[in-house]
Structure 1
Amino acid sequence: MDFDEIYNTYSQKIFRVCLGYFNDYDIARDMTQETFIAVWESIGKFEQRSEISTWIYRIATNKCLRQIQKNKNHLKTNFPENLKQEEYNVEKDERLSLLQKYISELPEIERIMIALSLNGLPQEEIAEITGSSHANCRVMLHRIKKKLMKKIEDDGRF
């Protein structure tokens, strides 16, 4: 797989993961760019012990965590409601906007895990990326989904 193909396949997914860390469009875009610079520089060192997607997500996660450590005073903001999506138009779908709002209210690790899950990653990869066991990942995702469902039910707009 060449770099252009890797970028085209994973850039939107990595952007969403970075957005889960920062809830800021510009920072997420910068972190996505930093991730792919690192991928470009290290593609020759990829040992294929895991899927390339896992490797890229891990780079993104590490970049985001390092940025958070550098800037402990970053402010949390609401999940951007005008985020352009490939599959749907956020402005036309009130339910999606509401779900994004609820996701933005989750603790950081839960936002990341649900973002990875919504991007279609298997639980094994999510566990590897977040540094948790598969069993713990499975339980956490279940709890996150229950928490989101409760918020949805309590809201009554769905």
Structure 2
Amino acid sequence: MSNDFYITSILPHAGIIIKICRAYTDSQEDFEDYYQEACLQIWKSKNAFQEKSKWSTWIYRITLNVCLTLVKKNKKKEYDLKYHVDKSEENKAFENENLNLLYDAIKKLSELDRAIILLHLEENPYKEIAEIIGTSANNIAVRINRIKKQLKDLLDGKIN
């Protein structure tokens, strides 16, 4: 990957990549792997971008697909309980404790709901979220309301 491509095409949208990767990882090491893989896949697919959507939408799609693929791949690995670590303490990415709590709650959502709420938190319009997810804007509106309630319940301690 050329340094120019990274600086001009990826770095301005690094916040998007970071937020999505952070929501799908439990450790700094995994986060770095997901981030690196997302950047690599963006670079590899740059020639397939047809400008039918915004570049940031393209980055969302690729990053989300990378994270979902890696999550599924990692779920297939055998889990050894004797090496279990409390990941909630390992992945404190933000100085703001409320933001860490929000990300912990978001990680408890389904993979699709995580994607939707992250797109919503980036203030993307329902229509654009629907385009990325592959559904209708009305469906997104309903899902976001349900997700917000679920997050509120998680943060209020009503759900573990």
> Does residue 62 of the first structure (1) align with residue 72 of the second (2)?
no
Q: Show the counterpart of 1:51.
A: 54
Deviates more, 1:41-50 or 1:74-83: 74-83
**1:41 equivalent in structure 2:** 44
RMSD: 2.7
The CA distance in 1 between the partners of 2:98 and 2:113, in whole Å, is 20
Match of 2:92 among 82, 88, 102: 82
- Give the conservation status (yes or no) of the 8 Å contact 2:93–2:100: no
Q: Which residue of 1 aligns with 2:14?
A: 11
- After TM superposition, give the deviation of residue 152 of structure 1 in Å: 4.2
Tell me how far apart the structure 2 counterparts of residues 26 and 143 of structure 1 sit (CA, whole Å).
32
Give the 5 Å matches for 1:8-157: 8-73=11-76, 77-78=87-88, 82-84=92-94, 89-90=95-96, 94-153=97-156
Question: What TM-score, normalized to structure 2?
Answer: 0.74
Count of residue pairs brought into register by the alignment: 147
Separation in 2, partners of 1:22, 1:60? 13
Q: Conserved in 1, the CA contact under 8 Å of 2:107 and 2:114?
A: yes
Segment drifting more, 31-40 vs 73-82: 73-82
Corresponding position of 2:83 = none
Letter in 2 for 1:136: N
% identity of equivalent residues:
35
Counterpart Cα distance in 1 of 2:141 and 2:90: 27
Give the unaligned 5+ runs of structure 1: none
Task: Report the Cα offset of residue 69 of structure 1.
Answer: 3.0
Unaligned stretches of 5+ residues in structure 2:
80-85
Contact kept in structure 2, 1:78 and 1:101, CA below 8 Å: yes
Partner Cα separation in structure 1 for residue 132 and residue 115 of structure 2: 10
Q: SS of the counterpart of 1:120?
A: coil
* 1:55-79 superposed Cα distances (whole Å, 9 cap, x missing partner): 1111112222222332324679438
How far 1:48 moved relative to its partner? 0.2
- Residues 111-136 of structure 1: per-residue CA shift (max 9 Å, x gap): 22212222232222222222332221
Amino acid at match of 2:45: S
TM-score using structure 1 length: 0.75
Q: 1:79 to 1:113 in 2, by over 3 A?
A: farther
Query: Secondary structure, in 3 states, of the residue corresponding to 1:149?
Result: helix
* CA pair 152-68 structure 1, distance change in 2 beyond 3 A: closer
Assess, with a 3 A threshold, how the Cα gap between structure 1 residues 102 and 35 changes in structure 2: closer, same or farther: closer
